[in-house]
Structure 1
Amino acid sequence: MEPMEVNLVDQDFYARRGAPHDQFRRLRANAPVFWHEGDAERGWPGFWAVTKHEDVVHVSRRSDLFSSYRRLALFNELPDEQVELQRLMLLNQDPPEHTRRRSLVNRGFTPRVIGRLEEHIRDICRQLIDEAEQLPEVDFVRDVAAPLPLYVICELLGAPVEDRDKIFEWSNRLIGSEDPDYAASPEEGQAAAMEVYAYADALAAARKEAGPRDDIVTKLLRPDDSGEVLGQDEFDLFVLLLIVAGNETTRNAASGGMLAMFEHPAQWARLVADPSLAARTADEIVRWVSPVNLFRRTATADTEIRGQKISEGDKVVVFYGSANRDEDVFDLPDVFDIARDPNPHIGFGGGGAHFCLGNHLAKLELKVLFEVLAERFPDIRQTGAATRLRSNFINGIKTLPVSLRP
């Protein structure tokens, strides 16, 4: 490979231009398992950047070789005492402990349970669009993409709809600690986490006092068939994970998907003409946007990927945004095609233990939202520049000004 500067974790680049697809493309072709220099000032060690679809799937499915538990699943390095607490979160566990705990929470996310929400989600989308239509200026993120998953999370938690604003604010502080518009420091993100834990404690206490309801909190607090139950810390951390994962992925897929439609108007016209494409549209949006850009693993033994030797303890980072444009897997990967079929994207993870628990819910929300938008506002248009989140973790859009009518 010709010498080139490689920096796949520069938050300022993501804020200016989004994912570094030019760098991804060259790495896939020339150095698909690439030793990426660290940043001593930030306390980031060097790491192996894994950019090919097949290899991301391999790392994802081999929890025995690539651990989420050793140094957690997020990119940033944390002090040992924080690592210990975060290991209680499902995201940061390996089988068999992960398998046990996931079985406890999976009860609320089966396709059957999620399928029952479709008409309710359709009503939420219509209500949001009715409200946005009355506004003098519409920001697609603030007024449509962000409130949708927040309403749904409140529904899942059995929380008052009025809580959606503080859930939105917590999520911004948790994910946006590197973005000056959302948080001044990582410490503020930690403070938001503590507020979420207190909120989860209050939800659990209220449910125990008022009795069971038909919501996920009740399901999570009940023992399963074998008598297993989530501890209080485990429950708090799951609510935190739900608030972040359930909000950020759908919000940014929806806003990134709408931006993609503006950039590819023929695809929007295609959806307007044939709303039956909405399910495939949802999948293509997730592939194209890749709302979660990366996750980290730690090698548990000396191993190899594509002939590249990796030592025990090495930091290994998988890039979904790159894998989802792998030329060996996708025909015309840099073309946004809402009818793409097959579409083996890994926007919900590469399979294995950590495949996204809420993938059915996220796809349903996207499918219904774009069906309703195409029906109600076929002439929606962009009226100003989109602004992007300063983050190498979430491929996020902060603002997207639109006009709903000509």
Structure 2
Amino acid sequence: MLINLVDQDTYAASGPPHEQLRWLREHDPVHQHPGEPGFWAVTRYDDVVHVSRNSELFSSARRLAIFDEVPEDQLALQQLMMLNQDPPEHTRRRSLVNRGFTPRTINALEEHIRTICDDLLDNCSGEVDFVTEVAAPLPLYVICELLGAPVADRDKIFNWSNRMIGADDPDYATSPEEGGAAAMEVYAYANQLAAQRKAAPRDDIVSKLIQPDENGQTLDENEFDLFVLLLVVAGNETTRNAASGGMLALFEHPEQWDRLAADPALARTAADEIVRWVSPVNLFRRTATSDVILGGQRIRENDKVVVFYGSANRDASVFTDPETFDIGRDPNPHIGFGGGGAHFCLGNHLAKLELRILFEQLAIRFPKLRQTGEARRLRSNFINGIKSLPVRLT
């Protein structure tokens, strides 16, 4: 079988190459994939978890966690972002940021999120684009709520995120310089928020993060700016694409939509199954810190190692009938939020809360919701994204 797991056009046409990934899981689970540079493609659940949980062997910092190669002169700046750090520095930073994502803080958002969903759906009628009218605004409103930012800023946040993530898609195509400019705009915005909260603290995540913790530790200006950047991208893109990909999956499996419409309480397990099925983040990269054996292959120090979450989430050794989309699946040990370890998604509870409330409200209010046009996919091997999904809300 011809294997190319990173062809952007494949993702734009039909989404992740699940047939190739299935073949690799069965025949060559740690595959030496060609490229410039080549890399090891890790496709089985247990191997993805092993790489994720062993930062001392598979580094996020040495050559960053993103798939594309970064020029040497940009490495140092990128390594300041939590995504691109290893313990113990990552541990210190994450402990400070965790203060804004405690269960109490997230649970307190439930009614806010329900109101946001209601407002979004109140403004939708007839034929609309589910992505632009529902899936994209929801996490943007929630990010504004988290940051204590005006809801009017959501369009700016949406624009920044698209410019930084969608560089390989013709509809969002930007140059590296423009992506860098968007990042600088986010930094300036973060500085402005921090200055406002220092002058007048509120009960929001910004106020919490700029205050010293119980040990007197605090995020410096660069660390705070980079956290806001990560929130703008990760908090927006993953939930947006899980929601739109989940809606598409329900259209493609109408019996599951009928189950949800008949019993909206299934939205709780549906949220996890949507994340498993969609796997909104396709992959992350690690770099081997020494020679190591993985899946029977000898990986050399500094080799590029890439984990494929969508493949792990369809591993038949872990999931019963993994190719079946089942909104009642329980247990569901998916790794759509990462394979554990240092980089397990900080906002996983928030994302699941948003998805649960959204699909519960959709099932209650629009049980006859129907797709009216073809879904258009993002041209990206990083984000499993839907750009548009025409629906009729009745």
1:287 aligned onto 2:284 = no
Distance 1:339 1:389 in 2: 28
Distance 1:140 1:23 in 2: 30
Q: Of the candidates 26, 46, 67, which is equivalent to residue 29 of structure 1?
A: 26
Shift, 1:49, TM fit: 0.2
Distance 2:37 2:104 in 1: 43
Distance 1:125 1:77 in 2: 39
Q: Which residue of 2 aligns with 1:180?
A: 170
Name whichever of 64-73 and 269-278 sits farther off: 269-278
Contact preservation (8 Å) 1:183, 1:189: no
Segments of 5+ residues of structure 1 without an aligned counterpart are 39-43
Distance 2:277 2:133 in 1: 22
Q: Which amino acid aligns with 1:49?
A: A
Q: Of the candidates 219, 229, 232, which is equivalent to residue 208 of structure 2?
A: 219
Q: Which residue of 2 aligns with 1:121?
A: 113
Q: Which amino acid aligns with 1:103?
A: S
Distance 1:94 1:28 in 2: 28
Q: Which residue of 2 aligns with 1:306?
A: 295
Shift, 1:239, TM fit: 0.2
Distance 1:239 1:218 in 2: 13
Deviations 1:53-73 (A, max 9, x none): 000000000000000000000
1:157 aligned onto 2:157 = no
Q: Which amino acid aligns with 1:264?
A: H
Q: Which amino acid aligns with 2:169?
A: D
Shift, 1:185, TM fit: 2.1
Q: Of the candidates 62, 72, 87, which is equivalent to residue 79 of structure 2?
A: 87
SS in 1 for 2:159: helix
Q: Which amino acid aligns with 2:10?
A: F
Q: Of the candidates 79, 93, 107, which is equivalent to residue 101 of structure 1?
A: 93
SS in 1 for 2:115: helix
Segments of 5+ residues of structure 2 without an aligned counterpart are none
Shift, 1:137, TM fit: 3.5
Distance 1:29 1:384 in 2: 35
Distance 1:381 1:299 in 2: 47
Distance 2:259 2:277 in 1: 17
Distance 2:183 2:330 in 1: 40
Within a 5 Å distance, the mapping from 1:2-401 to structure 2 comes to 4-38=1-35, 44-133=36-125, 137-209=127-199, 211-401=200-390
Aligned-CA RMSD value: 0.8
**Runs ≥4 residues deviating over 4 A:** none
Deviations 1:176-216 (A, max 9, x none): 0111111232322121111111111111112122x210111
Q: TM-score by structure 1 length? A: 0.96
The percent of aligned pairs where both chains have the same amino acid is 74
Distance 2:181 2:376 in 1: 26
Distance 2:105 2:319 in 1: 32
Shift, 1:5, TM fit: 1.4
Contact preservation (8 Å) 1:197, 1:240: yes
SS in 2 for 1:132: coil
SS in 1 for 2:391: strand
Deviations 1:289-331 (A, max 9, x none): 0000000000000001122100000000000010000011111
Q: TM-score by structure 2 length? A: 0.99
Distance 2:296 2:241 in 1: 35
Distance 2:29 2:377 in 1: 27
Distance 1:257 1:237 in 2: 29
Q: Which amino acid aligns with 1:63?
A: S
